A and B are shown apart, each in its own frame.
Chain A
């Protein structure tokens, strides 16, 4: 396994369109996280899953944002009716509850540009 993978790496869309990002975590990791990062800022937590359960979603930026992890493996993050302010890098990370430090392993991110 080569790490966390995200698709697409880049997405350009028009305002008002819906977009969906996919994340495939490291295979033995049971936790999966979504973060958003804008230029020059640190990652901002959005939501996380343990297996298929979404245990925290209060930080999702609005009701236009939703995430799923239906079988406890890959996850999708959907943004409906995109706005220019949604332009950012969307990072996925995974971790294992069996590791002492619980460090997060990040993917390369999906960069969204809303025109």
Chain B
């Protein structure tokens, strides 16, 4: 089966750094995605990891450890607009990019 776990909610302060963890147990692995979803809006792509290590993109970085089934999304210099849900998703099939999503982490950024 597929199991993807991430915290339900997190709160952080504007200007700070926050790390959102994701652990997964899937029958296969072809890559891990992070998406951002503001309330009432479509999920938007943030990052993709297929190899172990850290991928940095501006204020956002994503880390993957395939041996541990673990990833995290790191958000630096938090801004109020970063308040959103962050979705971890695993592509566990050989074809089709059929992503299996975690429940999402709702991040609230406070002044």
Contacts and interface: CB of A to CB of B under 8 A. Distances in A.
Nearest to A109: B42
**Most chain A CB inside 10 Å of its own CB: which residue of B35, B44, B99, B103:** B99
Contacts of B89: 42
A31 B96 contact: yes
Contacts, number: 59
A45 interface: yes
A31 B43 contact: no
Nearest to B30: A102
Contacts of B41: 108
Given A55-B96, A91-B42, A101 B31 contact: yes
Contacts of B98: 33, 45, 48, 56
Contacts of A35: 101
Nearest to B46: A103
Given A42-B87, A91-B42, A109-B42, A104 B100 contact: no
Contacts of B101: 35, 42-45
